[in-house]
A = this chain, B = another copy of it.
Amino acid sequence: MEKTRFDLDPKRMPDRWYNIAADLPKPPPPPLHPVTNEPLHPDDLRTLFADSLIEQELTMDRYVAIPGQVMDMYGMYRPSPLFRARRLEKALQTPARIYYKYEGVSPPGSHKTNTAIAQAYYNAQAGVKRLTTETGAGQWGCALSFACQLFDIECRVYMVRVSFQQKPYRKTMMETWGAKASPSPGLDTEVGRQALALDPDTPGSLGIAIAEAVEDAAAREDSKYALGSVLNHVLLHQTIIGEEALLQMELADDYPDVVIGCFGGGSNYAGLAFPFIRENIRNNKGTRCVAVEPAACPSLTCGNYEYDYGDTAKLTPLLKMFTLGYQFMPPGIHAGGLRYHGAAPLASFVHSLGLMEAKALPQNAVFAGAVMFTRNEGILPAPESAHAIQAAIDEALDAREKNEERVILFNLSGHGFFDLGAYQAYLAGELEDYFHK
Contacts and interface: CB of A to CB of B under 8 A. Distances in A.
Given A1-B72, A5-B10, A5-B76, A380 B423 contact: no
A76 B83 CA distance: 8
A377 B73 CA distance: 10
Contacts of A374: 107, 176-177
Contact of A7 (B10, B72, B178): B10
A1 B423 CA distance: 41
A376 to B, nearest CB: 8
Nearest to A415: B417
5 nearest A-B residue pairs (beta carbon): A107-B378, A169-B420, A417-B417, A172-B420, A172-B424
A357 interface: no
Contacts of A76: 4-5, 83, 377-378
B176 A1 contact: no
B5 A7 contact: no
Band of interface residues on A: 35 or more
Interface in A365-407: 371, 374-375, 377-380
Nearest to A427: B175
A24 interface: no
Interface string A83-97: 100010000000000
Instruction: Say how many copies of this protein the assembly contains.
Output: 2
A242 interface: no
A186 interface: no
A379 B107 contact: yes
Contact of A423 (B4, B10, B107, B176): B176
Contacts of A415: 417
A149 B375 contact: yes
Nearest to A169: B420
Given A379-B107, A380-B107, A427 B1 contact: no
Interface of A: 1-2, 4-5, 7, 10, 68, 71-72, 75-77, 83, 87, 105, 107-109, 146, 149-150, 169, 172-173, 175-178, 371, 374-375, 377-380, 415, 417-418, 420-421, 423-424, 427
A292 to B, nearest CB: 21
A208 to B, nearest CB: 25
A175 B375 CA distance: 10
A171 B307 CA distance: 46
7 contacts: A1-B71, A2-B72, A76-B83, A76-B378, A87-B150, A169-B420, A176-B420
Nearest to A73: B378
Nearest to A167: B420
A292 B381 CA distance: 33
A82 B153 CA distance: 28
A416 to B, nearest CB: 9
Contact of A378 (B7, B10, B146, B371): B146
Contacts of A7: 7, 10
A108 B169 CA distance: 18
Contacts of A72: 1-2, 4
Contact of A75 (B1, B176, B377): B1
A5 B108 CA distance: 18
A172 B10 contact: no
A150 B379 CA distance: 12
A166 to B, nearest CB: 12
Contact of A68 (B1, B105, B378): B1
A380 B173 CA distance: 8
A201 to B, nearest CB: 25
A420 B173 contact: yes
A267 to B, nearest CB: 20
Contacts of A1: 68, 71-72, 75
